[in-house]
């Protein structure tokens, strides 16, 4: 939940993407740690219950140094990259979804690629993880001393 490690570009893109998603009825949560220990940049619950993962890449080096995005595909119904306006778009895989965003707005350049729906058991587990992450993080903001309990849990 601490975005202190994000670059200003990553933070701006993440904010713009989240605004874009909320505007479309999605409920986004940033920095969601999967059961594998991997942390996705943005996970969003769609109005129909499907799960979208957004991988934010702030610059070419950020993309080239990190090939773990493919591991996320089996934890979502849809996947898309999100990058700032000055990102070299040709670097990105042409088959995957693409959003360009600054801190205020976002444009969908390519929709997420069609993908098999998650199995019911996986969807249930990921939705549970998503809900628990959002609720516990919210509680921590509303009652900061809870940090002690959550850290021990």
Instruction: Name every residue whose Cβ is closer than 8 Å to that of residue 12 and which is 6 or more positions away in sequence.
Output: 84, 101, 102, 103
Q: Does 143 bind a copy of itself (CB under 8 A)?
A: yes
Query: Contacts with a copy of itself: how many residues (CB under 8 A)?
Result: 32
> Which strands make up the sheet holding 78-83, listed edge to edge?
27-33, 39-45, 51-56, 78-83, 97-101, 106-110
11 exposure class (CB count in 10 Å sphere: 0-12, 13-18, 19+)? middle
Which of 9, 10, 28, 118 contacts a copy of itself by CB under 8 A?
28
Instruction: Report helix, strand or coil for 79.
Output: strand
Query: In the chain, helix, strand, coil percent, each to 5?
Result: 40, 25, 35
Stretch that binds a copy of itself, among 53-61, 83-91, 106-114, 120-128 (CB under 8 A): 120-128
Identity of the residue, 42 or 92, whose beta carbon is nearer to a copy of itself in the bound complex: 42
Q: Does 151 bind a copy of itself (CB under 8 A)?
A: no
- Residue in the structure block whose two tokens are 């249930």: 124
Identity of the residue, 50 or 89, whose beta carbon is nearer to a copy of itself in the bound complex: 50
Least separation in angstroms between residue 18's CB and a copy of itself is 6
Q: Which residues bind a copy of itself (CB under 8 A)?
A: 15, 18-19, 22-23, 25, 27-30, 44-45, 49, 124, 127-128, 130-132, 134-139, 141-143, 146, 149-150, 153
């Amino acid at each position: 939940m601490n975005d202190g490690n994000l670059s200003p570009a990553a933070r701006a893109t993440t904010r713009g993407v989240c605004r874009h998603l909320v505007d479309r009825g999605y409920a986004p949560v940033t920095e969601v740690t999967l059961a594998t220990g991997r942390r996705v940049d943005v996970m969003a619950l769609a109005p129909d219950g499907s799960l979208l993962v957004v991988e934010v890449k702030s610059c070419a080096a950020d993309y080239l140094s990190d090939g773990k995005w493919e591991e996320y595909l089996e934890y979502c119904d849809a996947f898309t990259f999100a990058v700032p306006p000055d990102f070299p778009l040709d670097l990105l895989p042409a088959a995957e979804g693409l959003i360009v965003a600054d801190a205020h707005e976002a444009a969908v350049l390519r929709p997420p690629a069609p993908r098999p729906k998650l199995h019911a058991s996986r969807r249930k587990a990921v939705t549970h993880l998503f809900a628990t992450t959002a609720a516990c993080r919210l509680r921590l903001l509303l009652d900061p001393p809870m940090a002690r309990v959550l850290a021990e849990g």
